[in-house]
Structure 1
């Protein structure tokens, strides 16, 4: 009997040693205005790079997805989606108040799945949207106590604030608290992980650059006033339907913005000086968090864990910095749905792999599972409400093995609105060249669109109009492409998957 137990333990350790740890890093409201994204898919035009040496360094050793899209450009719906690997019409989360387990199903999340496979799972900061919409950071996901952190310096009077560094020694900013806790947790997890006894899944969620933009004053030197510019397109797209618009209420809620008399109405803008101040503060917040990510990655290396740890990095969605005269997210504009995503896999991405294939944040779940060497997760069936473990994406690992492999030819996003006392959903498809959106009546009790009731539509040609300044949906010359995109949008995401993506799991 003793020999049998030794055999079992030895085999468990062998299996554990074959698995990689996972360091899962999320930044809030991060647009891909990073050095690694410089090129045709860089957000905006004529804008400077942000100073992010650590993120760019990580990208140089990762599978870098230059055309990754979130499924809804709002914190809670986006996070509920990529943390479960399911789209908003499956999670039924479209706002900041709804918990996916209460309305969608008792879906297994990424960390919960790793926990079920024998991993120690620890979370901190903003991984889920905190509060009722995650039942306070989804306790089922974690095997260790969760650290949320304390907001020491934020208030509703100031949309941005540089804090003298000397004042931060006794009252550190929340992201410093999170980075320090991540380092301490790595030190705690390292012995069991290195011995092969217990691999880990460590999720580190940074709050910045979410409003208010609060940072150590010393970091603002990275952005001289003369280097920061207003966007080239401080106006709404020509022929844009009003239902596509957002009034920038998130920014407007701060008193210093209210004092400017900014309304957020279509084709209204903030004063140029205010725009530059906000953009400069946003950039500085990003550089501040980049330095903290550098500290966490340095500790991973110092502990000898980097050679056996998958590192994923994402922003939960993009963010408007005055483009179209608007701010924050809350739309289907490309600048909101396009966000950074990269995955570093030791031994596979060491020299860096750049992909311009269309990818989606629901692809993250199956990717991390395969990268870590854990049992694969199947593709979800049409109705997965009672299926605890599945995904609605596509593992990105084939892009590492063969960057030219047949791939999905579209990504899908959506955003809800109220219009004439009705629920409306803006369904968006992004293809290699176009972004097409139909705003349709939405049946909330069934979570289904009524494709027969189209309120309005949008069509942007990214080849000639990458910043989406002209809605061409009513151009006679675009009628054929509009019809094709409409058919593809309504057919849905399953029809865009290559056969290789549905060979494992429930299929169509």
Structure 2
């Protein structure tokens, strides 16, 4: 009786004085380049497949803000996720690898779900949100979630599929196999649907809002997916990238050796491919891997569609902000490179779509330059929570702040100017004599400019701009695939000088008014 009275009084108070808050559904895929149909640009395809099958993400895009030029801050899982989940850049989180935990090496920063939890939301996660293991404290950053039971990982993914196919870079699962052992991302989807059903009653009454994070593992290697998705990608339609070669005049520091795929899967390792750039891979193998990647993307799309359908069935569409994105892009033999680990466009650019009821109902297609550090403050503003301040230069003791900017103004008015430059970075270990060299990269509307400089590690975590080892300059107006490094071309000398000045000034100088 006491509980019923509490519910009744809460409802009366809410009806009289409360504006209902929105729930948040935060969905991320892994290793997803902008390889979805909604982001295909016929005039400038950036090596994309021209017939992607992603009907659910396409439908979602119609009522979302689609940011077609969204960039992560480092093209590798752990650092990228530590960055966007805290709203801070790698030189603040101090996470540059797959092992370090931001709370240990950077500071006790308040994450996105943790902030929503502090504002009264029930927060729960499932799948790959933070990078696992030591990179999230060994417990998927326990403090971010409402209680110990509110984070779910896929048991079959760990106990069955990874063991069965760990020696192969890709594998097709038939219907019988899928029924006997659901794929990991299917288990994540099933858990998401079950969780929505559990949360819906109190959420619809306005008694408890939720922040639910769902992380798909695909299309990360190995590409293990149901065979039915191959029909959307006939073998005869598979194409080689137009640039299976390193950029002209590419500095050695820009290259990463393809270690992730060369060393991680027996079907690739046994072939003995060199780690050097311009190593030739058999055409049939490249096409098979590209086909498997595309099929994996379509599989993720189908799972995303199931979650969206359940959200609608439960009557939560108009009460829930939905974000879909990824931790970085992906190379499919462009520049003879695989995976990520670079500052190239194809590795640092990834989809970012946000559906906000009452804000994006008519759809927004944006070509503003945006960064994944912007996600935190954007979701906070859309949910009507107290805004985050911009982080001071030393924010190691500041729990909640942001090094990004809210995207809500350009979602509401796409004609507003955005950032003129966005920033990313990638480290290279050059051994005990030289130490770490950091590639600081910047993307403007027209150019990508990168400087490889000596990195001052602990305790500074700053670049030494005076120790410059190499630079890169790509002109996207004439070379969107970044095939020619023009840093040494005299005709670009003045452009390079200005870009260098802007890069050194950093992201703070680029904050929009």
For normalisation by structure 1, the TM-score amounts to 0.95
Alignment correspondent of 1:31: 33
- Native 8 Å contact 1:33 1:43 kept in 2: no
From 456, 476, 479, the counterpart of 1:465: 479
Residue 377 of structure 1 deviates from its aligned partner by: 1.4
Alignment correspondent of 2:444: 431
Distance 1:222 1:66 in 2: 24
Alignment correspondent of 2:453: 440
Q: Which moved further from structure 2: 325-334 or 155-164?
A: 155-164
Give 1:159-178 correspondences, 5 Å limit: 159-178=169-188
From 135, 142, 149, the counterpart of 1:139: 142
- Report the CA distance shift for 1:484/1:25 in structure 2 as closer, same or farther (over 3 A): same
Give 1:241-320 correspondences, 5 Å limit: 241-252=251-262, 253-320=264-331
- Report the CA distance shift for 1:28/1:16 in structure 2 as closer, same or farther (over 3 A): farther
- Report the CA distance shift for 1:368/1:40 in structure 2 as closer, same or farther (over 3 A): farther
- Native 8 Å contact 1:233 1:469 kept in 2: yes
For normalisation by structure 2, the TM-score amounts to 0.94
Distance 2:16 2:390 in 1: 28
- Report the CA distance shift for 1:141/1:46 in structure 2 as closer, same or farther (over 3 A): closer
Deviations 1:64-94 (A, max 9, x none): 0010000000001000000000000010000
Residue 293 of structure 1 deviates from its aligned partner by: 0.5
Residue 178 of structure 1 deviates from its aligned partner by: 0.1
- Report the CA distance shift for 1:180/1:455 in structure 2 as closer, same or farther (over 3 A): same
Structure 2 SS opposite 1:183: helix
Residue 408 of structure 1 deviates from its aligned partner by: 1.2
Q: How many corresponding residue pairs? A: 498
Residue 406 of structure 1 deviates from its aligned partner by: 2.5
- Report the CA distance shift for 1:46/1:115 in structure 2 as closer, same or farther (over 3 A): closer
Residue 351 of structure 1 deviates from its aligned partner by: 1.3
Structure 1 SS opposite 2:152: coil
Distance 1:141 1:5 in 2: 27
- Report the CA distance shift for 1:65/1:132 in structure 2 as closer, same or farther (over 3 A): same
Structure 1: 5+ residue runs without aligned partners?
A: 500-508
Distance 1:404 1:137 in 2: 39
- Native 8 Å contact 1:73 1:331 kept in 2: yes
- Native 8 Å contact 1:244 1:332 kept in 2: yes
Alignment correspondent of 1:495: 509
Residue 17 of structure 1 deviates from its aligned partner by: 4.9
Deviations 1:273-316 (A, max 9, x none): 00000000001111111101100000000000011100000011
Distance 1:78 1:22 in 2: 21
Structure 2: 5+ residue runs without aligned partners?
A: none
Whether 1:153 and 2:158 are equivalent positions in the alignment is: no
From 194, 210, 235, the counterpart of 2:245: 235
Distance 1:179 1:48 in 2: 28
